[in-house]
Amino acid sequence: MADGEGGGAVRFGIIRCAAIACTFFRAIKLAPNATLVAIASRSLSKAEAFKSSNGVEDSVTLYGDYESLLNDLSVDAVYIPLPTSFHVKWAVAAVEKKKHVLLEKPTAMNVAELDVIIQACEVNGVQFMDGTMWIHHRRTDKMKEFISDPSLFGELKTVHSNFTYPPDSNFLANNIRLNPNLDGLGALGDIGWYCIRSILWATDYKLPNSVVANRNPTFTDAGVLLSCGASLIWNNGLIATFHCSMQAQSSMDLCVIGTRGIIHVNDFVTPFDETVASFNVCSNSRFTEPIIGWQRPLPREEVVQMEIPQEARMVVEFSKLVAGVRDEHRSPEMKWVAITRKTQLVVDAVLASIENEFKSVDVHQG
């Protein structure tokens, strides 16, 4: 197949040899409709080291700068795990070269930056998706089936989500997630993003009317968030809360509560086992009289088997959309743009509430 021709697997390039790029490279290998054709780093030696440590095939072209990869006509799509502050520059540069973009989260420092990327994608007719992997897990589909069943779940009333982990001293001192010049959103962008996405997912991506940040967030000496949380409020009475922290034991909990049913998940972002995942559900339960226990039905575990992990499913979904644009001249799927933008809007609102002495901040689609 000549350079630039369509058909066949979607051909990926990776821009930056970050740790998460190792996971993505493996995902491409597991996805039947994708292949890796190029890797770029700031130096050729870094790209060569990535190739050696990950067993990258000799057929993959290595570049010591990002521009050369973007000029490679054999690349259909790029995965960009750069620091957030570089996303606008390099995502737009990729899009202007007609590359479809799978952009690591958080996608931008704020929604104004994200809108620059989105506009470029629209003008150039390319597919956009962010790298929130758990959304693509089969378990996520099964949980949505449960909360969409009025007889089992009823009406959604509240959502609680948290993501925490305890980094070591080296992480706290040197990781880009806590560098104000690289990833200034800190814990909010790194892990709060997942919590906010889980809440929006449970609400069918209905934006809250307002957001109020929790008091007493913590910061590094450089002013980057280490922990924070917020309440998301809808005018219909729905309320959701989240907490994210780099100062607590590892947790990835999601609780979705309706008038008839409830879901509990203890590993919603990264399953304990990539081959199988579970969640607990309960419907129409009551306490005994006197209150010394629960009546049947009791909570039960639902188990979901996986043929390929969630990150590979993400690559498969993205590649299907890219192939549709490339080979069948379809319009890009805008659902993923809308989901990303709503997540970014809530991130912005949380930060605005923190910066404005924890006052309520209205959320507008804009």
248: Cα separation from own chain's centroid:
21
Judge whether 39 and 13 are in contact, CB under 8 Å: yes
Q: Are residues 224 and 261 in the same domain?
A: yes
User: What letter does residue 295 receive in the DSSP assignment?
Assistant: P
State residue 3's pLDDT score: 38
- What pLDDT is recorded for position 230? 98
Residue 221 shares a structural domain with residue 258: yes
Question: CB atoms < 10 A from the CB of 33, how many?
Answer: 16
Same domain as 223, residue 353: yes
CA atoms within 13 A on the CB side of 314: 25
182 within a domain of the structure (yes/no)? yes
pLDDT digits (tens, 9 = 90+) for 195-205: 999 999 999 99
Q: Whole domain around residue 269: which residue ranges? A: 137-309+344-362
pLDDT at 6: 56
Taking 70 as the pLDDT cut, the residues of the chain under it are: 1-6
Is 126 a member of any domain? yes
Which residue is associated with the tokens 């880009």? Answer: 176
Do 161 and 297 reside in the same domain of the chain?
Answer: yes
What CATH number should be reported for the domain holding residue 304? 3.30.360.10
Residue 5 domain-assigned (yes or no):
no
Do residue 83 and residue 33 come from a single domain?
A: yes
Considering only CA atoms, which of 257, 261, 255 is closest in space to residue 286?
Answer: 261
- Alpha helical stretches, state H, the chain: 19-30, 44-54, 66-70, 87-96, 111-124, 138-147, 169-174, 186-187, 193-202, 310-328, 335-355
CATH of residue 88's domain is 3.40.50.720
Alpha carbons 37 and 22: distance in angstroms, whole number: 15
Q: Are residues 105 and 143 in the same domain?
A: no
CB burial string 133-166: b at 16+ within 10 A, e below? bbbbbebbebbeebbeeeebbbebebbbbbbbbe
For residues 148 and 277, state if they share a domain.
yes
Domain count, the chain: 2
Clarify whether residues 269 and 324 are in a common domain. Answer: no
Q: Does 239 share its domain with 279?
A: yes
Query: In terms of domains, do 273 and 214 share one?
Result: yes
pLDDT (tens digit per residue) in 316-363? 999 999 999 999 999 999 999 999 999 999 999 999 999 999 999 999
pLDDT score of 2: 37
260 within some domain: yes
